[in-house]
Structure 1
Amino acid sequence: MSRRGRLVVVVTGASSGIGRGVAQALAARGADVVLAARSEQTLSAVARECEERGGRVLVVPTDVSDEAAVQVLARRAVGTFGRIDAWVNAAAVWSYGLFEDTPGAVFRQIVDTTLFGQVHAARSVLPQFRSQGHGVLINIGSLYGRLSSPYVAPYVTAKWGLLGFSEVLRQELRDAPGIAVCTVLPGAVDTPIYRHAANYIGRRIRPLPPVTSPERVVAAVVDAIDRPRREIVVGRTQRVGAWAHGLVPGLYDRAIGPVVNAFAVRGTPVSSHDGTVFAPDSLPCAVDDGWRRHDHRILGQALTVSAGLGALAIVVRALGRRR
């Protein structure tokens, strides 16, 4: 807990998944939590969960792709609690489909939410951090900020951009040692974002196994508020993919398509739809979405593929050194 008393933390994307889990965890520690997402109805449910855990809560319905709305969010947080100790950027939307099949408006909205939503947050909160002399900005990135795969062009574009943006902020804030910028990079996480994704591929999708529990990511975020670090990777197995991507990019490019088609694209046909890209889900949301409960058989296959890709990368690297 902060020496300043109760932590004051703004959490965007607080309606489901990682954001909702972070809000609950912080409330359980007695923090003052400012909840932001597009759906006021869902945020009200999250607020009750946080209050039951002992936190004080402010609900501010916010579309983070609207910079003016994010400025209002920051002002209301300071106006209610007097300061902001940390800001957690967890808002994101997702689509699945070939780039050529993804509508331009969908591509832009995903980048506006998943990248510019975090840019707007930084622009809104950094002056407050500077004025009070401290603050932690946590950007929830993704290992898709270091690698890529077919069908997720707008999300990968946003996450690669977020990684660079966070790095620039750290460089520019060297004159403010009390301010930290942390990037949390999870792999595939068991959250509703896959169910909420826009779909232009014509088949049902699922996260690429092995799927990390949202609790692990939540714990990493909460720990980063106490002990800020530059980058935190969550999901050991997915690191193999990031390593292979950097070490043998040609091999990675050839392998990733078949891997995604085998393990993330299901046979069930679905009609094209925009998911929650433009509007929040009207149904109740949660922290997790139950993917891990059905992964026992497919997990072994995915681990075998990951191990094989890693071993092949080692062989290719060794052969390259001999030459």
Structure 2
Amino acid sequence: MVRAPWGPQAGKGRTVVVTGASGGVGRAAARAFAARGDRVALLARGREGLAAAADDVQRAGGEALVVSVDMADAQAVEDAAQKVADAFGRIDVWVNNAFAGVFAPFTDITPDEFRRVTEVTYLGYVFGTRAALRHMLPRNRGTIVQVGSALAYRGVPLQSAYCGAKHAIQGFNESLRCELLHSGSRVRTTMVQLPAVNTPQFEWVLNRMPGRARPVAPVYQPEVAARAIVHAAGHGRRREYWVGGSTAATLVANAVAPAFLDRYLARSGFDAQQEASAAGGNGGPGNLWSPADGPHGHDFGAHGRFDGEAMDGDPQEWVSRNRGRVGAGLLAAAGVGAAVTAGLRRRGHG
């Protein structure tokens, strides 16, 4: 446990739980919450990554609590949530983000591997949500953020277990959201659909392909995702946020022409997700059965190896966070246009 000077009942900031906080998007989100002055509970398996994430949180101005937990273990997740509540007094925001993956054709993934990906990436969200609700519902407040992906709507080749889990999270979250609305609860749940992000994920997946795993361009920095997650945590009434123009384009195209995308991804999806010059798989330790930093003593951080191409922002990011302003602006523009048109017509008739 790593703690900063002030106590659990202090009024500064919220209490935020981030799962998968040792690296990638979770690590960037933890820093972003800390920069607001929030108390951040860091849940993951990796010891080196968790210790470094706690240092990040404290340097950013937050208070850190480290809890080592396997999100596939329901009781362990419940115990972790209780530790957070005992230390900080409450849980205001819970961010589900932990994942595991196998990068291979479906027929090359063993039943145990597929089950493990599902247990971490899908059931980990279910167990995390259940633990969060146990603490939020009695207080009748709180926000649960499910970190999703464009792959929650659009499956791609070589990631059948991961895509299946993300689709499952989507359905689970929609069902839960309806139940909370039905009961009149002030507890909110929302989902943030991400694009390809420059994280260590592509070093961690178990890779059975000849090339090194990589995200499909365009690639965004994890701080882009972190900003969206922090915004969603404060605006939980919104059911969903799309991050990145590529996410918006993918989801719209899949809604309009899914069969076309099937054929397109069948042709391009294998090569687009591999670096042809890097033979022999990813060469990394993988995180399917144990934390990637476990025996290696290495902190992977938030960024992957794609800093040279990753983007720091995107117009869609701003549009997603400011949908109300955009809608009001469009209505205002339409009103001005209608007034101008009416004026021209009157002059024409004068």
TM range (shorter): 0.7 to 0.9
Aligned to 2:160: 153
Distance (Å, rounded) in 1 between the aligned partners of 2:256 and 2:144:
31
Q: What root-mean-square deviation, in Å, do the aligned CA atoms of Structure 1 and Structure 2 show?
A: 1.8
Partner of 1:236: 245
Which sections of structure 1, spanning at least 5 residues, go unmatched? 297-323
1:72 and 1:97 mapped to 2: Cα distance?
34
Give distance in 2, aligned partners of 1:214 and 1:155. Answer: 19
Normalised by the size of structure 1, how large is the TM-score? 0.87
User: 1:241 deviation in Å?
Assistant: 2.2
Aligned length: 294
Q: Which moved more, 1:14-23 or 1:237-246?
A: 237-246
Contact 2:48 2:299 in 1 (8 A): no
Matches within 5 A, 1:240-319: 240-267=249-276, 268-271=278-281, 275-282=286-293, 283-294=298-309
Distance 1:120 1:126, change over 3 A: same
* Contact 2:193–2:247 under 8 Å retained in 1: no
Question: Match for 2:234 among 222, 226, 229?
Answer: 226
Letter in 2 for 1:20: R
**Cα deviation, residue 294, structure 1:** 4.1
What amino acid does structure 1 have at the position aligned with 2:266?
A: G
Q: Aligned runs of 1:1-323 on 2, under 5 Å? A: 5-174=12-181, 175-228=183-236, 229-267=238-276, 268-271=278-281, 275-282=286-293, 283-294=298-309
Deviation at 1:117, TM superposition (A): 0.2
Residue pair 1:183, 1:231 contacting (<8 A) in 2 also: yes
Structure showing greater radius of gyration is 2
1:58 is paired with a residue whose SS is strand
| Partner Cα separation in structure 2 for residue 251 and residue 271 of structure 1 | 29
Counting aligned pairs with the same residue, the percent is 31
Cα 1:67–1:260 shift into 2, 3 Å: same
Aligned counterparts of 2:307 and 2:61: Cα–Cα separation in 1: 29
Deviation at 1:208, TM superposition (A): 0.3
Give the corresponding residue for 1:304.
none
**What is the rounded CA distance, in whole Å, between the counterparts of 2:216 and 2:103 in structure 1?**
13
Contact 2:197–2:220, Cα closer than 8 Å, also in 1: yes
Is the 1:94–1:194 Cα contact (8 Å) retained in structure 2? no
1:109 counterpart SS class: helix
- Aligned-pair CA distance for 1:177: 3.5
Q: C-alpha displacement at 1:18, in angstroms?
A: 0.8
Secondary structure at the aligned position of 1:195 is classed as helix
* Deviation at residue 52 of structure 1 after TM alignment: 1.5
Gaps of 5+ in 2: 1-10, 312-350
Q: Secondary structure of the equivalent of 2:269?
A: helix
Amino acid at match of 1:62: V
Q: TM-score, normalised by structure 2?
A: 0.80
